[in-house]
Structure 1
Amino acid sequence: MEVRYICPTAYDSSVYLVNGKVLIDAGMNSDLIIKQLEKYIKLTELKLIILTHCHYDHTAAAAAIAEKSGAEVGIHKADLEGVNDEYLSVSVLFGERAPAVKPTITYEEGDKIDIGDGEYLKVIHTPGHSKGSICLYEPVSKSLFSGDTVFPRGGFGRMDFEGSEPNKMLGSVEKLTKLDVKNLYSGHGAPTDRDGNKQITASYTMLKMIMGA
């Protein structure tokens, strides 16, 4: 699996180009992101944009990228409504309107997404940060795209947004501890290829302490 890491500004989510065909999250600044993508591919080679959840910093650029590339856009069914809502998308916190993107595909737990070269991403529903947050696991390279569910060094996503489900976050992170993860590609910050399992376990331990579980 080939992964290109793109992060145009400090406020955008991390954006990952996978196998030159699939984009995981889209960030906010479409002009900068498209410029970065065109260093690696012709934009029309992009076939799919997967949104790990409905928040503005991950989705705002998706409409422009999809329009220029012709790519489809997918999101978990529980966040389909939220992506175009000012409060559920938290676009109001950025002083912006909700994203204009209209997802064409919805995902559920256990779905397998073809990413070419005989590889796939398994959809893991991890509610907590949002109702429809997902992580994506590629078993051959032992890679996890974790969105804003967990971050390196014991971090995890906020649970105080409209649509967050803090009572489900611990179970979601516990689910991730059962995976064999080497490479962790989170929704913010640079990816890491060291001790993915340990970093997820650290997130789980920290979350248990904070929640008093």
Structure 2
Amino acid sequence: MKITSITTSPYASNSYLINEKILIDPGMDTDQLIQKIKEHTQPENIELIILTHSHFDHCAAAKAVAEICNAPIAIHKDDAQALKSKEESVSILFSAPAPDIDPDILYENGDIIKISETESLEVIHTPGHTPGGISLYEPSSKSLFSGDTVFPNGGIGRTDFTGGSLDKLSVSIEKLTELDVITLYPGHGPVTSDDVNKQIRLSLQMSRAYR
């Protein structure tokens, strides 16, 4: 699996280009993102845009990027309605309108996204940061794209936004501790391969400490 990490601004989420055809979390800056994608592939080669959740810093550019790439947008069904809300998408914090996205694909827990002949992403519903937050696990490389559920060094997603729940986040992180993860690709912060299973267990401890 070929993974390119792209960050367009200090406030935007990390974007991940997988096998030069799957884009996770386009972030907020369409022009910068497209420019960086062109360093690796042509935008029209993008076949799917996946949103790990509905927050503005992860998806504000999704609609424009989708039009340029002619690619469908996918999100968990429980976050679809939040893309129309300034409060639930937290676009209000950026003094911006809601992303106003009509997703083409609605995921549920356990859905499988094929990304090559031998590789696939498993959709893991990880609510808590948002009701429809997801993490994506690729078992052959043991890679985890965690959105804003967990971050390196025991970090956890905020739960004080509309739709957040610390109890649900803790349950979600416990689910992630059952995976064998070699590399963590978080929604913010650096990619890490430093004893990731231990880092996720630390995130679980952190979530329980705040409950």
The TM tier, using the shorter chain, reads over 0.9
Shift of 1:164: 1.1
Deviation track 1:104-150 (CA, whole Å, cap 9, x = no partner) reads: 00000000001124210000001100000000000000000000000
> Could you tell which deviates more after superposition, 39-48 or 162-171?
162-171
Paired with 2:170 and 2:17, the residues of 1 have a C-alpha distance of: 29
Q: Which letter does structure 1 place at the counterpart of 2:153?
A: R
Deviation track 1:57-80 (CA, whole Å, cap 9, x = no partner) reads: 000000111000001110000000
Paired with 2:89 and 2:146, the residues of 1 have a C-alpha distance of: 18
Determine the structure 1 residue equivalent to 2:179. 179
Aligned residues: 211
Determine the structure 2 residue equivalent to 1:127. 127
Paired with 1:137 and 1:111, the residues of 2 have a C-alpha distance of: 11
> Could you tell which deviates more after superposition, 142-151 or 157-166?
157-166
Shift of 1:198: 0.8
Paired with 1:65 and 1:198, the residues of 2 have a C-alpha distance of: 36
- Alignment check: 8 A CA contact 2:166 2:207 kept: no
- Alignment check: 8 A CA contact 2:11 2:57 kept: yes
Determine the structure 2 residue equivalent to 1:160. 160
Paired with 2:62 and 2:127, the residues of 1 have a C-alpha distance of: 22
Q: Which letter does structure 2 place at the counterpart of 1:62?
A: A
Q: What does 1:143-154 correspond to in 2, within 5 Å?
A: 143-154=143-154
> Could you tell which deviates more after superposition, 158-167 or 123-132?
158-167
What's the TM-score once normalised by structure 1's chain length? 0.97
Paired with 2:189 and 2:101, the residues of 1 have a C-alpha distance of: 24
CA RMSD of aligned residues (A): 0.8
Determine the structure 2 residue equivalent to 1:14. 14
Paired with 2:62 and 2:135, the residues of 1 have a C-alpha distance of: 18
Shift of 1:167: 2.4
Deviation track 1:53-105 (CA, whole Å, cap 9, x = no partner) reads: 00000000001110000011100000000012111000001100001322100
Paired with 1:144 and 1:170, the residues of 2 have a C-alpha distance of: 17
Determine the structure 1 residue equivalent to 2:42. 42
What's the TM-score once normalised by structure 2's chain length? 0.98
